[in-house]
């Protein structure tokens, strides 16, 4: 479990590292990277703008691309214990009738596990090896100097200045750290015009079943995690602005087939006081690195949930970056970041494009177009639908082999060989 620590204490711990790394954002991407670097013997400074008790819950369906990451962290068993296997996927039409049920095992098992887990549980798993984090902390300024990045961090009570060899902005879709290094015209996005509420329902007997209903002007998804059922109910924002209770009532009026799971899912959104609204937009950046500052996860490429691959790509990207930084020297940082972006960006943007294509298919308000879609989807095999994802899984990213971790004495010798630079 990560331990809340002051920014000053983290900076002091990183002072003797051969590569001083700041990771901004303790979400999935940021924690993954920080833990990988700690396994490599470094002491990355990890900042999180939210408080320690901030809500971290929604459901994730993780593709097998996360398996090598968890293997390197030694967390495969921990991950399995806190997640459930997703072996079936069921699709319903605009009226709630079953279109098709697909087996996921034959298509994905050759690559690894496809599992459901809540975001909060995943963060606990990733942090189970221990480490430090400063909550309520943000970066307020970043200045690129020759050979280092000078950063000012604010933790709610004081400003702390420090120099780093690498600054990783992993603070999400609406990254404030990204705003310090990129112009507004370098960040673009796709707004679906849709949004919806995320809530939790009681689990049912089908703990291996993910289910979606593609309606005309609405969308319902249920995905199991350990001990709960994650629910999303949404639609066009012009329609959802009436609020969850009235919107759910409207959706019920469109359904002629309603089983116990769908009924419970709609109830969970209509009655929950804790359901939060998710506006479905994404982002893409013109570049991922500016000098010694590099973007990671949603800060670099924020995904729509339609392809169910955003969190997995964030973990894979953290692994690809961590492998490179774990053996890098300060003098080679710019080359390392350039190599990372050239290798990983095409994979991420391919998946991002796939999620946008699916959004255009799923998010339809017209009943006529929804009816045509329902007819067409009956003839689409899951193998064809998953072809872009299967291609990504087949083409595992090529990352440098990690050299044996240097012991404290060897790392100290490397540090002393450098021109001294205080934090």
pLDDT tens readout for residues 311-350: 999 999 999 999 999 999 999 999 999 999 999 999 999 9
Contacts of 150 (CB under 8 A, 6+ apart): 142, 143, 144, 161, 162, 163
The chain-wide mean pLDDT, for the chain, equals: 90
| pTM for this model (two decimals) | 0.92
Q: How confident is the model at residue 79 (pLDDT cuts 50, 70, 90)?
A: very high
* CB contact at 8 A, 340 and 296: no
Largest CA distance in the chain: 73
Terminal Cα distance for the chain, rounded: 27
In a domain, 305, yes or no: yes
Q: Is 115 helix (H, G, I), strand (E, B) or coil?
A: strand
- Distance of alpha carbon 4 from alpha carbon 7, whole angstroms: 10
Confirm whether 97 is domain-assigned. Answer: no
pLDDT for 166: 97
Q: Is residue 53 part of a domain?
A: yes
In whole angstroms, give the CA distance from residue 234 to residue 230.
13
- Number of structural domains, the chain? 1
Q: Tell me if 67 is assigned to some domain.
A: yes
Q: What is the residue range of 125's domain?
A: 2-86+112-189+285-362+382-417
CB atoms near residue 310 (< 10 Å): 25
367 within domain boundaries: no
User: Is residue 31's pLDDT more than 60?
Assistant: yes
Domain of residue 183, CATH code: 3.50.50.60
Instruction: Give the count of beta carbons closer than 10 Å to the beta carbon of residue 416.
Output: 10
Residue 169 β-bridge partners: 24, 295
Decide if 199 is inside a domain.
no
Give 278's strand partners: 196
| Domain annotation covers residue 134 | yes
In a domain, 215, yes or no: no
* pLDDT tens digit sequence for 344-400: 999 999 999 999 999 999 999 999 999 999 998 888 777 777 788 888 888 777 666
**C-alpha 225: how far from its chain's center?**
16
């Amino acid at each position: 479990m990560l331990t809340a620590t002051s920014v000053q204490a983290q900076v002091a711990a990183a002072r003797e590292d051969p590569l001083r790394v700041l990771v901004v954002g303790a979400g999935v991407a940021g924690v993954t990277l920080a833990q990988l670097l700690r396994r490599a013997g470094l002491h990355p400074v990890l900042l999180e703008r939210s408080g320690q008790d901030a809500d971290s819950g929604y459901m994730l369906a993780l593709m097998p691309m996360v398996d090598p990451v968890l293997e390197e962290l030694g967390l495969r068993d921990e991950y399995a214990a806190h997640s459930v296997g997703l072996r079936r996927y069921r699709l319903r039409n605009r009226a709630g009738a079953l279109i098709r049920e697909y087996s996921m095992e034959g298509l994905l098992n050759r690559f690894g596990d496809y599992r459901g887990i809540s975001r909060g549980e995943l963060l606990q798993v990733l942090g189970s090896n221990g480490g430090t984090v400063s909550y309520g902390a943000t970066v307020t300024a970043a200045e690129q100097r020759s050979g280092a990045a000078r950063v000012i961090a604010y933790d709610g009570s004081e400003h702390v200045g420090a120099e780093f060899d690498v600054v990783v902005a992993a603070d999400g879709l609406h990254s404030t750290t990204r705003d310090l290094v990129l112009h507004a015209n370098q960040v673009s996005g796709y707004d679906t015009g849709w949004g919806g509420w995320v809530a939790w329902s009681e689990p049912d007997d089908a703990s291996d079943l993910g289910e979606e209903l593609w309606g005309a002007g609405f969308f319902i998804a249920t995905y199991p995690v350990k001990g709960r059922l994650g629910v999303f109910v949404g639609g066009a924002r012009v329609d959802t602005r009436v609020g969850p209770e009235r919107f759910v009532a409207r959706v019920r009026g469109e359904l002629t087939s309603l089983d116990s799971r769908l009924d419970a899912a709609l109830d969970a959104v209509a009655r929950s006081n804790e359901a939060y609204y998710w506006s479905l937009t994404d982002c893409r950046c013109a570049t991922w690195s500016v000098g010694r500052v590099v973007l990671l996860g949603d800060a670099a490429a924020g995904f729509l949930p339609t392809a169910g691959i955003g969190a997995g790509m964030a973990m894979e990207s953290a692994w690809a970056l961590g492998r490179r930084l774990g053996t890098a020297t300060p003098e080679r940082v710019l080359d390392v970041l350039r190599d990372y972006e050239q290798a990983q960006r095409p994979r991420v943007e391919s998946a991002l494009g796939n999620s946008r294509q699916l959004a255009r298919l799923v998010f339809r308000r017209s009943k006529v177009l929804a009816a045509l879609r329902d007819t067409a989807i009956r003839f689409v095999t899951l193998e064809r639908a998953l072809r872009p994802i299967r291609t990504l899984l087949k083409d595992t990213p090529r990352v440098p082999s990690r050299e044996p971790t240097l012991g404290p004495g060897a790392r100290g010798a490397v540090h002393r060989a450098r021109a001294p630079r205080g934090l």
